[in-house]
Structure formats: C-alpha cells, structure tokens
Chain A
Amino acid sequence: MEIFAIIIGSIFANNVVLSQSLGICPFLGVSNKVNTAAGMGAAVTFVMAISSLVVYLLQYYVLVPLGIEYMQTIVFILVIAALVQMVEIVLKKISPSLYQALGIFLPLITTNCAVLGVALLLVQKEYNMLESVVYATSIALGFALALVIMAGLRERLELTGVPKGVKGVPIALITAGILAMAFMGFSGLV
C-alpha cells in the first residue's frame, strides 16, 4: 500500500516538474516536439532508476559507515556524471537500436537537476532500497508525462498567433503555469 501511495504521489500529486520545480531546463528545452519529448522522458527514466539504486548503495554502505555524509553532494554528482557516461557506452554495445533512440539525450541528463534532486530526496526521506527505486522510477515517469503533455501543447501553440512580446519562453512558462494548476487537482489523491 505504501508503495502504491509513493507511485501515485510522485507521478501526479507531487509531479517533479509542475509541483516541485525540478528539471525545468529540459522541460523547457526539449518540449518542442512530442517525439523528442518521449525520447528524453525514456532516457531520464532509465538513468534515474539505475542511479537511485547506485546512490542508495553508496549512501548506506560507503558514506554512512565512513561518517562522511557531508561529502554527499560531491560524491553524488560525480557518480551520476560517471554513470551517465557508462550507460551511454554500455547501451552502445548491448543495444544499438536503443542507443540510437536515446543517444543524443543521455549527455544532457547530467545537467538535469531532477536526477541529483531525487538522489538527495530519497536519502532525506529515508526510503529503503525497494522504495527508493520505485520512488525514483515514478518521479521519472511523472517527468516524462509532464514533458509529453507540454510538447503536445507547444506543438499546438506553434500554429496559433501568439503576440510578439510573449513568443518563445514566456508563453511556454505561462502554459506550464496553467498545466501546473491542472495538476494541483491531483493533490487530493494522496
């Protein structure tokens, strides 16, 4: 039951982009086309699921026993950067087709603050190993969902006559605001 609450909570009620304001850069940057948005969403889900497991093991089997929790930020960001590189290399060898689909998005993930944010949050919330992985995966799915919806909206916006002053980022932000209001409706769910 706890797990179910985590899943629904992180996908809808506490959507990572629209309610926690994490991962805004890719949310605004790669939400021009539905296809690329879906690719980015898949790549983020993939990396976040793996990184949450690695971060969990690192926190409770390396940092805590050694008493160097204050090194968290440095260690986590380096591990995530290295992990992204590794995922890229491994994926290229094992599944070239998946690499073709996700390839260009992988390097961008290092700078996605949602990945580091989730790593820090799951330590803060003291989740166990299963909960951590489920939490990170559902957060990433929430990110993918927001990204795809936003891309759909922006594809429509392209065809409408937007006033010159608000073209580009401002109208995207205002649209995201309305979307965030819609997602607030889910907050009663959990």
Chain B
Amino acid sequence: MQKYMGKNLKILTDGILKNNPTFVLVLGMCPTLATTTSAANGMGMGVATLFVLVMSNIVISLLKNVIPDKVRIPAYIVVISSFVTVVQLLMQAYVQDLYNTLGVFIPLIVVNCIILGRAEAFASKNGVWASALDGLGVGLGFTLSLTIIGIVREVLGNGQIFGLDIWQGGGALIFVLSPGAFFVLGYLMVVFRKLTTKTN
C-alpha cells in the first residue's frame, strides 16, 4: 500500500515539478503568453485546461483498446475537442466575463500540445486511475505556472494581485502587453532552472 501511494504521488508531483509543462517542457506557449495578463485570467485558463486534460485522459485511457492504432490521433482530437466545447459552453453560461476576456483562446485549448502530448505519451498506455492522476498533475503544474506568470505581470503592470491594489499609481503597462509576456516568461524560466538544478 505504501509503495502504491508513493507511485501515485510521484505521477502527481512529476507533472508539477520534473515535467512542468511550461518551464521545463516548454509546451502550450500560446495560452501561456496570451492569457496571463492578470493572475485571475491565467488561473482561469489553467483550470479550463486542467478540466479538459483530466477528462480527455480518462476517456482516452478507457478507449485505448477500442481505438485502432492508425486513426488514434484524429480520435484523440475528437475526444479533446468535445471536452473543449463542453468547457466553452459552461464558461459562457457561468463565467461570462472570463469567457469574454479569454476569447478565442478557449476553443484553442484543442491545439494545446500538452493535452495531445499526455494522451499519446501517458493515457494511451496506462490505466484510468493513473491517467486521471497524470492529467491532474500536469494540469496543476500548468495552472500553477500560469498563475505565477499572471501574478508577476499583474504586479509589474498594474500594481495589483487578483485585482487588489498593492500600491497606488499602477505600473509599467508594457508588462500587460505582449512584449511583457515574453520577458516575464523568459526570466521566470531562468529562475525555475536555477531553483531546480540546485535541489538536484
């Protein structure tokens, strides 16, 4: 039992640290750069992706013996885009503001390489429980990275965190615009590298 728990925990933490999709694997860059204008937006995008990731991992893992090998990629894409449509409709119904801010990037979760990558590399080879955990781990890693980038950009750009003022007078607007996204991600990647090589 102890060993079993350890294995599951490892699947979960690998997605957050060792295989962090943003800082280590450098996957899913478009939503990372485009939607992290504030902490809340980044987190919203992360949670939407997390949902799609867990659900599609579960379904693909269940269907892994049914899907013929030759058409597996189109089949995965259909599964993923179905869940993306579900998320899109749910967000439109319940979180209209976030839906409007994220805009075209919600349907674009379909082409987020993290999701197809996990389907191909993990869910198509492992059981349902492990696949769900893997989706959760990678999804949490993605959400965490997006939230951190969002916080840094919001603080530097607007002087706020989650919409609460830290200091008066705002900040350098450039960090909320697209060049700021490149800078913040680039420097955060350096910091992440530094921290993870130290612990090893």
Contact = CB atoms under 8 A, between A and B. Distances in A.
Given A81-B77, A117-B104, A22 B34 contact: yes
A22 B111 CA distance: 11
Interface stretch (B56-64, B78-86, B130-138): B78-86
Nearest to B80: A77
Interface in A69-83: 70-74, 77-78, 81
Interface stretch (A33-41, A59-67, A177-185): A177-185
Interface stretch (B6-14, B152-160, B174-182): B174-182
A23 B81 CA distance: 19
A139 to B, nearest CB: 13
Name A's interface SS.
helix
Interface stretch (A2-10, A93-101, A130-138, A165-173): A165-173
Contact of A111 (B81, B107, B113, B177): B113
A76 to B, nearest CB: 8
A28 B26 contact: yes
Contacts, number: 107
B107 A116 contact: yes
A73 B74 contact: no
What is the interface residue range for chain B against chain A?
35 or more
B187 interface: yes
Contacts of B185: 173
Given A22-B34, A73-B85, A121-B104, A177 B194 contact: no
Interface residues of A, number: 39
Nearest to B103: A124
Interface of A: 18-25, 28, 70-74, 77-78, 81, 111-113, 116-117, 120-121, 124, 165-166, 169-174, 176-178, 180-181, 184
Among all A-B residue pairs, the 5 with the closest Cβ atoms: A177-B182, A173-B186, A21-B34, A24-B29, A180-B179
11 contacts: A18-B179, A24-B33, A25-B27, A111-B113, A170-B186, A170-B187, A173-B182, A173-B185, A177-B186, A181-B174, A181-B179
Interface of B: 26-27, 29-30, 33-34, 74, 77-78, 81-82, 84-85, 88-89, 104, 107-108, 110-113, 116, 174, 177-183, 185-187, 189-190, 193-194
